[in-house]
Amino acid sequence: MNEEQHVVGGNGQVFTWNVKGDFTADATSGVDVGAGAVSAARANVHFAGISPKSFGIASTLQSTTRYGWIVDSGATVTMTTNLLMNNGSVAGIPTTSAFTNNGTLKLGINAITSSSATNGIFVMGPGATVELGNASGFAGGGNISITNKTSGSGFTSLYFDSTANYIFNGSVAQITGSNFPATVNNLSISNSVGVTLSQAVTANGTLTAGTSALLDLNGTASTADKLAGSGTISNNTSSVTLTAGGSGGHQQLRRVSSGMAAAQWP
């Protein structure tokens, strides 16, 4: 999209865009889903198809409360800019911006964020994969910088299916973040500078420390069904047990006088 404003919808309608290529709005573009302040239109943008695609909005995204961004199963999307998520109300109709990943989402250092603690929804669907390169992971200032706020009606702003997969592949030291889910399918570490767990995690699939990768358990009693890779898994706080099922057996990691004990697999 170049040097023009794309306006879709009006009068409360919901529109669907099926994007099978790149979705890019440069700094001179404008994107809106309404024809005016009284319009309550909404656009659900589906990234579909197996060909890799990029998604970036460098311009001002108008009506930020009116979008649903969906990475379909089988699709791979690389984010090239940050994305702002908001909630709001248009003509008395509540509107919520939501990002649902059912495929593979490559964030790099870019963030999906919100303007306040009560805004935006982020969903990791069944079997989805996300790649994170930001230092703060699932925390304020990180790749997913949306506060997990739950209302009395059961609404939650962060939803993680337990079969989703997570890859930390940054080039700076990373933490998983305070909002990282407690249960995942596969957790892969591909960061030679190091990734530190912010809290305990259970990997029902495989915990992989890739070549030259470093994972610090940070004193947590974490669990993995299988262990893989030739990287280093360590604990730099106190004695802790990493319990592994499958062929991984059990490995006890203890703090030593140097401050770190390390174990390598295989």
Boundary-marking domain end, from 166, 201, 225: 166
Q: Residue 230: inside a domain, yes or no? A: yes
Q: Are residues 208 and 234 in the same domain?
A: yes
Q: Residue 173: inside a domain, yes or no? A: no
Residues 38/10, Cβ–Cβ less than 8 Å: no
- The DSSP output letter for 150 is B
Domain count, the chain: 2
Q: Are residues 2 and 91 in the same domain?
A: yes
Q: Are residues 148 and 251 in the same domain?
A: no
Domain assignment of residue 3, given as a range: 1-166
The pTM score is 0.83
Boundary-marking domain end, from 166, 193, 228: 166
Q: How many CB atoms lie within 10 A of CB 180?
A: 23
Name residue 231's amino acid: G
Residues 213/231, Cβ–Cβ less than 8 Å: yes
Boundary-marking domain end, from 138, 166, 194: 166
Q: Are residues 142 and 257 in the same domain?
A: no
What are the pLDDT tens digits along the chain (266 aa)?
333 334 444 555 677 888 999 988 776 665 665 544 444 567 788 999 999 999 887 655 555 556 788 999 999 999 999 988 765 444 444 456 788 999 999 999 999 987 665 567 889 999 999 999 999 999 988 999 886 655 444 446 888 999 999 999 999 999 999 999 999 999 999 999 999 999 999 999 999 999 899 999 888 888 888 888 888 888 766 555 566 655 444 444 433 333 333 444 43
Q: How far is CA 114 from CA 56, 90, 196, in A?
A: 16, 18, 25
Q: Are residues 8 and 85 in the same domain?
A: yes
- Which strands sit side by side in the sheet containing 60-61, from one edge to the other? 5-7, 30-32, 60-61
